[in-house]
Structure 1
């Protein structure tokens, strides 16, 4: 679940989803959020198979389990959460400067590259190659990587994603306990302790995935184009959008994780999903 909340990094053609018209619709369109959500669904379906292998090995990922996971990662529900949160969290924030940037030639190029890289990462071999490149550049003290790190610091990408992943893990445990997935009931304190013990590993994995992804996505950009993106992201409007997106994705993945935990608990108990 580490990949869930990366701002500017959340990116397949998707069916048109109808929502009530609201003020942030032009921004949602400019960011291609519906396409991002569709990629996240694909990631989620794959994660569901991995989860089954970890939690109940040998029992397989039959049609009941796959249908349950598919229902949890339902694109319209996911998109509704993001759209509704953006509308609430960005009240009073000027949308026009954001739409103008992301509809500019550079903005469209950036979003397209981010989406393409996210789709490419669905192939594990591509992700592994990107991880290898990141480790090599990290050892070499690469200047391009330094610029990407500046972008990540400006948008608080690592800390926000770590917090989001930990919230998701906590929600998963709660769902698992609610469904009777543990023979001995855990206390909230025990769950929190377990989640916090995962923090160093989550941070390490998040950092590697984030920089590997950005190095791949932004490779076609010139240094000047990437610097312009960094400077844009420091604006008041971009920072507000960044925070709003994290709130929305955090809420979305917390709900997903709790539903997954509940479903795993039911399945482990031999009940009908």
Structure 2
């Protein structure tokens, strides 16, 4: 699912003096530290590697083994993911006023929110916890729990469903193109068919995304007071909060599109019975 870098271009670049690149600003680094970006990347890496194991079982059972595990570790390189995210965020937020965001996420409530989000996401790596969170969501829906309205406002303020659905569709398209470019199939699969297959999954992805986000946030924010969650909604609705949200989605979309394409390319070799 990933197009290989053209080596001659890299050779030419190494032969030329490269301009100095400014690193992330002090304000951005303070914000990323408050958001525990590297910890989030570590959790998302574990999620991705687990998904890659499922892909192997579904697409080429019995043919992955140690070679597939090594490919997956290479593709989900945590250092590379963090660098990609930092580079993207540095560009997207270069003109943004980050101080209100730093102030919020370093406050008592802000820091607790980040901690709760991370711990809940780690917990959801366990299938039993994931199942329990879905059951709890159904109970809250059956009881018309008012907390769901507040969580819904947070989701709407951050456009979480639409942005995640778009990211999933982009990743699926990238995975498909990686499979095709890696010659996973012994028949032609054109652009039109790829798009049709990807869009055919849209409603299922949307339903799954909605349930996952609501169950995740309901579990993560259960210990949080309504006042603290209201404050989180309020900061999300500011210009600075919207800028951060858009920048984060852009950064993660770029990184996971790359990862998805590389997974497709790697999987293609196993599907076709070729050595990598």
2:181 is the counterpart of 1:178: yes
1:86 maps to 89
Give 1:140 deviation, angstroms: 2.5
Q: 1:48 aligns with which of 49, 52, 62?
A: 52
CA deviation profile, 1:204-223 (whole Å, cap 9, x unmatched)? 00001000000010000011
Alignment of 1:117-196 (within 5 A): 117-196=120-199
SS of the residue 2:267 aligns to: helix
SS of the residue 2:222 aligns to: coil
Q: 1:272 aligns with which of 256, 270, 275?
A: 275
Alignment of 1:105-116 (within 5 A): 105-116=108-119
Q: Distance in 2 between matches of 1:22 and 1:50?
A: 36
Alignment of 1:93-112 (within 5 A): 93-112=96-115
1:199 maps to 202
1:214 maps to 217
Q: Distance in 2 between matches of 1:142 and 1:20?
A: 48
Q: Distance in 1 between matches of 2:188 and 2:166?
A: 25
Give 1:165 deviation, angstroms: 0.1
CA deviation profile, 1:29-66 (whole Å, cap 9, x unmatched)? 11000000001111111111100001012x15411110
The TM-score normalised by the length of structure 2 is 0.90
Q: Distance in 2 between matches of 1:79 and 1:67?
A: 19
Q: Distance in 1 between matches of 2:63 and 2:125?
A: 22
Q: Distance in 1 between matches of 2:187 and 2:144?
A: 49
Q: Distance in 1 between matches of 2:57 and 2:152?
A: 35
Give 1:74 deviation, angstroms: 0.3
Q: Distance in 1 between matches of 2:261 and 2:141?
A: 36
Q: Distance in 2 between matches of 1:60 and 1:146?
A: 47
2:21 is the counterpart of 1:22: no
Give 1:244 deviation, angstroms: 0.2
Give 1:224 deviation, angstroms: 1.0
The answer for unaligned runs of 5 or more in structure 2 is 1-20
* Superposition misfits of 4+ residues, deviation over 2 angstroms: none
Q: Distance in 1 between matches of 2:207 and 2:63?
A: 30
Bigger Cα Rg: 2
1:10 maps to none
Q: 1:72 aligns with which of 66, 72, 75?
A: 75
2:39 is the counterpart of 1:35: yes
CA RMSD in angstroms comes to 1.2
- Give the conservation status (yes or no) of the 8 Å contact 2:41–2:82: yes
1:224 maps to 227
CA deviation profile, 1:112-159 (whole Å, cap 9, x unmatched)? 000100110111100100011112212322100110011000110000
SS of the residue 1:219 aligns to: coil
Q: Distance in 2 between matches of 1:42 and 1:61?
A: 18
Aligned length: 254
